Amino acid sequence: MCSCYYSSVWLHVNTGECNLASKHVPLQYLITLHWFETLFLCVFQRMPAPIRLRELIRTIRTARTQAEEREMIQKECAAIRSSFREEDNTYRCRNVAKLLYMHMLGYPAHFGQLECLKLIASQKFTDKRIGYLGAMLLLDERQDVHLLMTNCIKNDLNHSTQYVQGLALCTLGCMGSSEMCRDLAGEVEKLLKTSNSYLRKKAALCAVHVIRKVPELMEMFLPATKNLLSEKNHGVLHTSVVLLTEMCERSPDMLLHFRKLVPQLVRILKNLIMSGYSPEHDVSGISDPFLQVRILRLLRILGRSDDDSSEAMNDILAQVATNTETSKNVGNAILYETVLTIMDIKSESGLRVLAINILGRFLLNNDKNIRYVALTSLLKTVQTDHNAVQRHRSTIVDCLKDLDVSIKRRAMELSFALVNGNNIRGMMKELLYFLDSCDPEFKADCASGVFLAAEKYAPSKRWHIDTIMRVLTTAGSYVRDDSVPNLIQLITNSVEMHAYTVQRLYKALLDDISQQPLVQVSSWCIGEYGDLLVSGQCEEEEPIQVTEDEVLDVLEGLLVSNLSTPVTRGYSLTAIMKLSTRFSSVNRIKKVVSIYSSSIDVELQQRAVEYNALFKKYDHMRPALLERMPIMEKTASNGPTEIMQTNGETEPSVPDTKHLPLVTQPANQANDLLDLLGGNDVVPVIQTTLPTKPASAGGELLDLLGDLSLSGGLAPAPSVPVSQPPFLLDGLSSQPLFNDTSAAIPPMTAYSKNGLKIEFTFERANPNPNIAVITIHATNTTEADMTEFVFQAAVPKTFQLQLLSPSSNIVPALNQGSVTQVIRVLNPQKQQLRMRVKLTYTHKGSPVQDLAEVNNFPPQSWQ
């Protein structure tokens, strides 16, 4: 026992904690004293002194297992608790310190919270120090307990010892709640005006915290900021700049008010740069970099969107940018801040170029931190200073090969931002190489980026298809789901590349069927262009020899493979079906389809059943339904349209069978229909959006079709454009409706009665010669307008009809204008075109309705 006391005393002497009047007191004397004291204490005190902090730490560290540690901790906690209960003032500090250690290890210490408050209230500095530390670690503003601190802090803010005041300011500035801040803001403000720089700097940062918690109190600190910047003390300067920054960021009024400080800030910065070596603030040869960076940041905020201020700081920014040493991190930190400031304020172009060049140099720096920071900043500026950043493109692309994940990501984002029509080939090569070798977390974003860039800047269709192929084969499983319909649309629109595309996709399928997006796109293409594949029509490369059976083998293989998802199976089944009109091996296809009509997968089963029905009952419609897809229109939103979604899924939706479940809606009209027609079938006429009365139109229309023996099933509410037979969706606006190759068809008058004349003009739809496009022109010779004009038409069973939106529903009087509307009629069997029309309008206040038959179609319109 004696020796350990000896050693502990020795330690104390050595580490200078001992405050002995003289260090030369003989140690034996001390030992005796210690011994006496222990004896004394043991006799007269109730408990032995709680073990010391360092001893506890040492003991706990000897624990070999978590369980052992927990046991020690629990034992000690129990001791501490009883000590707290006994209100022991002497050792409270020690106990709380131990508690804080155990708290850091992760053990609960909430029973020490009140003790911290007692320590704070103590007169002893040691107690206060530990008490405040404990408060910062154990208390938080959610618990009401913390409010008990307020009074103590208030007292300590006015303490005679500045270090006590400092403790209070520190605690308030770190974890003061809004209530505390409200109560104590006045004290903080007072201290902000003191001449004691030690306190002033702390008060400034405390004020920052108060403002963050209670923004309304900002005004209160305004007077105190008046001469903050004229301080010589760097600590006060630094914290003042932080305070001013906070105020300017929060309040536009403050910003305006403080803008006048720009010259002063510029001066301070200049002094820092120009002044000689100052040992106190020097860091690697640079004078107070922390202050420099803060000033630059404040200048950024003050100069933003203000020409005069920006002008005033122009020179100093240029000076800092050119004179700062770049060999160490600290210099680069200043340059970085300078660049950020230059880019954000209204700087002149020369300065901006200088900034970008600094970033370019950063990119070549060996220090990866600097490279990272450069890439981040370039990403921010690439929109506004695109050309300047372009100059550094090759360096940026090199960063794709960096080992650091964050740098790679930044470089990738920046590379995509820099792609343009001129550099697309080179950039894409690099990006595709990156896609091959990058981590999986990047692949999805990179693939999307490649698709987007390719779409915007592809130099040729062949290149575009090749690029898509490359992405699908290398990163096929990471491609986003919405890419599949996008790609299909792209492929469809590259008409001359169909053969090449399908050949390449087929070959890719032979290699690998695991990547679902690739498989889906491939099956869709094979289904669509399989005829080109077997006929070996490829011009771009050596055509391969493929038989129909081989193709069907591959597609059937997809159906049975474990690697295929249900969606993929759907694609391949539909593709097989489509080949029934392109291949001759129809029987094989029929067999496949009938097998899957008992598939467990509901989706597959439904498709198979429908296709079976196609074979059995609607075989005459099959060729038309499974025809080649027309070119799809892309919507402005740059994403797949609703129409494309359905086309992408390649549902040659058979309106009858698919929409039979919808017959119930609108129910009463269906009944009317069946009454009228005596149960005859009706060919649904699907209209695009009508200007008025969409719901009833369907019913009324079908009324017309009475004796034309039309097939059954109601069209769905015509306002739904989605599920239209795709072949009628010939490219709406971009496709020329005129086909110059066919002879012009003479127009005809379809109806003329009561002043309303309707003329039909004809065009052939390109590319499908079976579609006749009729434009009706309705004119009005009476003196009154015909309002709410609705034109409806119906055709016999062998035809299909589509009505597009009319130009308007008012036929102006006295031939002042006309209403036009486009009708498209599919006539695959080339039968004589007949039509029944129904007209409704309001004339001179009264509704008019008329039915008519149109039989005088010129033969050219349907032959």
Partner 1 sequence: MQFMLLFSRQGKLRLQKWYVPLSDKEKKKITRELVQTVLARKPKMCSFLEWRDLKVVYKRYASLYFCCAIENQDNELITLEIIHRYVELLDKYFGSVCELDIIFNFEKAYFILDEFLLGGEAQDTSKKNVLKAIEQADLLQENRPRQFFFLSAQLTTEKPL
Segment 171 to 200, residues that bind partner 1, using CB under 8 A:
173-175, 177, 198
Measured in whole angstroms, the distance separating CA 305 from the mean position of its chain's CA atoms is 29
Residues 451-510 that bind partner 1 (CB under 8 A): none
Residues 657-696 that bind partner 1 (CB under 8 A): none
The tokens describing 241, both together, are 């700049």
Question: How far apart, in whole angstroms, are the C-alpha atoms of residue 464 and residue 470?
Answer: 10
Residue 333 engages partner 1 in binding (rule: CB under 8 A): yes
Contact assessment for residue 442 and residue 477, using Cβ atoms and an 8 Å cutoff? no
Q: Residue 378 or 513: which CB sits closer to partner 1? A: 378
Q: Residue 173 or 570: which CB sits closer to partner 1? A: 173
Q: Residue 339 or 837: which CB sits closer to partner 1? A: 339
Only segment of 284-292, 617-625, 724-732, 749-757 that touches partner 1 (CB under 8 A): 284-292
Residues 702-721 that bind partner 1 (CB under 8 A): none
Question: How far apart, in whole angstroms, are the C-alpha atoms of residue 93 and residue 115?
Answer: 9
Residue 281 engages partner 1 in binding (rule: CB under 8 A): yes
Question: How far apart, in whole angstroms, are the C-alpha atoms of residue 634 and residue 653?
Answer: 21
Q: Residue 90 or 849: which CB sits closer to partner 1? A: 90
Question: How far apart, in whole angstroms, are the C-alpha atoms of residue 457 and residue 417?
Answer: 13
Q: Residue 336 or 457: which CB sits closer to partner 1? A: 336
Only segment of 6-14, 390-398, 699-707, 738-746 that touches partner 1 (CB under 8 A): 6-14
C-alpha distances (whole Å) from 87 to each of 44, 111, 281, 653 are 17, 13, 47, 85
Q: Which residues pair with 822 in a beta bridge?
A: 775
Secondary structure in 3-state letters for 175-234: HCCHHHHHHHHHHHHHHHCCCCHHHHHHHHHHHHHHHHHCHHHHHHHCHHHCCHHHCCCH
**Please, what sign has the CA dihedral across residues 13, 16, 17, 20?**
positive
Q: Residue 139 or 701: which CB sits closer to partner 1? A: 139
Q: In residues, how long is the chain?
A: 863
Question: How far apart, in whole angstroms, are the C-alpha atoms of residue 833 and residue 770?
Answer: 12
Radius of gyration of the chain from its Cα atoms, rounded to whole angstroms: 42
Give the phi and the psi of residue 633 in degrees, each rounded to 5. Answer: -85, 135
Only segment of 204-212, 484-492, 629-637, 756-764 that touches partner 1 (CB under 8 A): 204-212
Residue 214 engages partner 1 in binding (rule: CB under 8 A): no
Q: Residue 47 or 660: which CB sits closer to partner 1? A: 47
The one-letter amino acid at 293: V
Q: Residue 58 or 456: which CB sits closer to partner 1? A: 58
Number of residues in contact with partner 1, rule: CB under 8 A? 88
State in angstroms the smallest separation of the CB of 225 from partner 1.
16
The tokens describing 821, both together, are 């509307």
Residues 30-59 that bind partner 1 (CB under 8 A): 33, 36-37, 40, 52-54, 57-58
Only segment of 19-27, 219-227, 650-658, 659-667 that touches partner 1 (CB under 8 A): 19-27
Q: Residue 13 or 609: which CB sits closer to partner 1? A: 13
The tokens describing 811, both together, are 């036929």
Torsional class of 713: left (φ above 0), alpha (ψ -120 to 50), beta (otherwise): left
State in angstroms the smallest separation of the CB of 533 from partner 1.
47
Work out which of 92, 209, 464, 824 binds partner 1, going by CB under 8 A: 209
Residues 235-254 that bind partner 1 (CB under 8 A): 235, 238-239, 242
State in angstroms the smallest separation of the CB of 58 from partner 1.
8
Q: Residue 368 or 634: which CB sits closer to partner 1? A: 368
Residues 773-812 that bind partner 1 (CB under 8 A): none
Q: Residue 146 or 588: which CB sits closer to partner 1? A: 146
Instruction: Residue 305: count other Cβ atoms within 10 Å of its Cβ.
Output: 10
Work out which of 370, 450, 559, 704 binds partner 1, going by CB under 8 A: 370
Residue 84 engages partner 1 in binding (rule: CB under 8 A): no
Contact assessment for residue 777 and residue 659, using Cβ atoms and an 8 Å cutoff? no
DSSP H/E element including 465: helix 461-475
Give the phi and the psi of residue 252 in degrees, each rounded to 5. Answer: -60, -30
Pairing of strands 286-287, 282-283: antiparallel
State in angstroms the smallest separation of the CB of 155 from partner 1.
17
Q: Residue 150 or 581: which CB sits closer to partner 1? A: 150
Q: Residue 18 or 662: which CB sits closer to partner 1? A: 18
Q: What is the DSSP string of 559-628?
A: HH-TT--HHHHHHHHHHHHHGGGTSS-HHHHHHHHHHHTT-SSHHHHHHHHHHHHHHHT-TTTHHHHTPP
Residue 829's Cβ-count burial label (10 Å; 0-12, 13-18, 19+) is: exposed
Q: Which residue, 479, 533, 488, 538, is CA-closest to 510? A: 533
State in angstroms the smallest separation of the CB of 209 from partner 1.
5
Only segment of 9-17, 561-569, 807-815, 821-829 that touches partner 1 (CB under 8 A): 9-17
Residues 124-153 that bind partner 1 (CB under 8 A): 124-127, 129-130, 133, 136-137, 140-142
Question: 545 Cβ partners below 8 Å, 6+ apart?
Answer: 536
State in angstroms the smallest separation of the CB of 390 from partner 1.
25
Work out which of 206, 382, 428, 686 binds partner 1, going by CB under 8 A: 206
What is the DSSP-derived secondary structure letter of residue 862? Answer: T
Contact assessment for residue 175 and residue 140, using Cβ atoms and an 8 Å cutoff? yes
Q: Residue 173 or 699: which CB sits closer to partner 1? A: 173
Residues 379-438 that bind partner 1 (CB under 8 A): 403-407
Only segment of 205-213, 473-481, 524-532, 809-817 that touches partner 1 (CB under 8 A): 205-213
Measured in whole angstroms, the distance separating CA 30 from the mean position of its chain's CA atoms is 71
State in angstroms the smallest separation of the CB of 334 from partner 1.
8
State in angstroms the smallest separation of the CB of 21 from partner 1.
4
Only segment of 259-267, 336-344, 427-435, 439-447 that touches partner 1 (CB under 8 A): 336-344
The one-letter amino acid at 357: N
Q: Residue 98 or 498: which CB sits closer to partner 1? A: 98
Q: What is the DSSP string of 393-429?
A: HHHHHHGGG-S-HHHHHHHHHHHHHH--TTTHHHHHH
Residue 21 engages partner 1 in binding (rule: CB under 8 A): yes
Write the binding mask 87 to 126 for partner 1: x where contact by CB under 8 A, - elsewhere: ---x--xx--x--xx--xxx-----------------xxx
Q: Residue 331 or 530: which CB sits closer to partner 1? A: 331
For tokens 């902000």, the residue is 192
Work out which of 5, 6, 107, 290 binds partner 1, going by CB under 8 A: 290
